[in-house]
């Protein structure tokens, strides 16, 4: 029996498709003409529909106008069928075109007005620009750094002005009055004075060395006398 059904379905398939398409074409024509076309109903539903349509009492109730019912229905507000409101951006969204259009606009970039931006820049700016600057050579900065760190001989003549300037800037409260007076002297006079001090130091050193030699000779003589006394005492015994 199964093969008979398959043969029958295959034979009537084209006819059923053509019939369904023809019905669809007829319904579309009716809809285009403005005629109301009801959707197809199930056989059991179609039977109940025909019975209700042929019932005169039900038709009378349907045609009857109930004012209270109309008023109650008008009070009903169905919100579920209303389309949801979409959020629309009032600000221009970031894109390649908008970035290029506002490339020099900090208000659009940061989202604040000009007054707030000025206040933030006044109190929270990352750096301070100084338009008046002194231009110096790198060699001079390197030489100054070497002098401050003590990597050069400060006794050279060309470094004397730097030493004097550094000495003046230091706290002079701990300096001796003699050193303070020496720093206040003119350069030539100070050099002569330092030269004289060096000569005095050398002369004092020679004197002390000579005195030290004399003390050594006296010490040796005292030791010799002590040894002679000890030998005399031993011979007496």
Q: For residue range 44-92, what is the model confidence (pLDDT) as tens digits?
A: 888 888 888 888 888 888 888 888 888 998 998 877 666 777 777 777 7
Q: Are residues 23 and 64 in the same domain?
A: yes
Residue 140 token pair: 């001079």
Residue 190: pLDDT above 60? yes
* Band (160; pLDDT cuts 50, 70, 90): low
Mean pLDDT value across residues 84-111: 77
Q: Are residues 162 and 225 in the same domain?
A: no
Whether 174 is covered by a domain: the verdict is no
* Last-in-domain residue among 23, 50, 74: 74
Whether 94 is covered by a domain: the verdict is no
* Band (134; pLDDT cuts 50, 70, 90): low
Residue 11: pLDDT above 80? no
Q: What is the DSSP letter of 102?
A: T
Sign of CA dihedral 152, 153, 156, 159: positive
Q: How many CB atoms lie within 10 A of CB 41?
A: 12
Whether 152 is covered by a domain: the verdict is yes
Q: Are residues 160 and 191 in the same domain?
A: no
* Last-in-domain residue among 31, 48, 74: 74
How far CA 52 is from CA of 57, 60, 134, in Å, comes to 9, 11, 106
Whether 163 is covered by a domain: the verdict is yes
Buried b (16+ CB within 10 A) or exposed e, 95-105: eeeeeeeeeee
d(CA 232, CA 228) in angstroms, rounded, equals: 6
* Last-in-domain residue among 50, 74, 98: 74
Specify the pTM.
Answer: 0.23
Average pLDDT, the chain: 76
User: Do residues 100 and 93 make contact, with C-beta atoms less than 8 angstroms apart?
Assistant: no
d(CA 217, CA 210) in angstroms, rounded, equals: 11
d(CA 225, CA 217) in angstroms, rounded, equals: 12
User: Do residues 183 and 168 make contact, with C-beta atoms less than 8 angstroms apart?
Assistant: yes
Mean pLDDT value across residues 103-121: 77
Residue 166: per-residue pLDDT: 62
Residues 6+ apart with CB under 8 A from 215: none
Domain carrying residue 148? 137-168
Q: Are residues 6 and 50 in the same domain?
A: yes
Domain count, the chain: 3
């Amino acid at each position: 029996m199964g093969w008979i059904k398959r043969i029958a379905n295959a034979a009537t398939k084209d006819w059923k498709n053509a019939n369904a398409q023809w019905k669809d074409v007829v319904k579309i024509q009716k809809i285009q003409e403005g005629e109301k076309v009801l959707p197809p109903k199930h056989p059991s539903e179609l039977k109940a529909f025909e019975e209700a349509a042929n019932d005169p009492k039900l038709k009378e109730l349907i045609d009857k106008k109930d004012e209270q019912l109309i008023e109650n229905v008008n009070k009903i507000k169905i919100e579920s069928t209303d389309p949801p409101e979409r959020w629309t951006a009032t600000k221009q969204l970031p894109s390649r075109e908008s970035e290029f259009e506002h490339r020099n606009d900090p208000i659009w970039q940061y989202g604040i007005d000009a007054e707030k931006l000025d206040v933030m820049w006044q109190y929270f700016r990352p750096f301070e620009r100084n338009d008046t600057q002194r231009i110096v050579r790198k060699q001079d900065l390197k030489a100054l750094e070497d002098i401050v760190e003590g990597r050069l001989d400060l006794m050279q003549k060309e470094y004397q002005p730097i030493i004097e300037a550094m000495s003046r800037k230091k706290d002079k409260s701990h300096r001796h009055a003699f050193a303070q007076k020496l720093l206040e002297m003119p350069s030539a006079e100070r050099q002569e004075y330092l030269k004289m001090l060096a000569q005095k130091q050398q002369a004092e050193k020679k004197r002390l060395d000579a005195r030290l030699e004399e003390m050594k000779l006296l010490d040796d003589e005292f030791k010799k006398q002590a040894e002679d006394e000890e030998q005399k005492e031993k011979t007496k015994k």
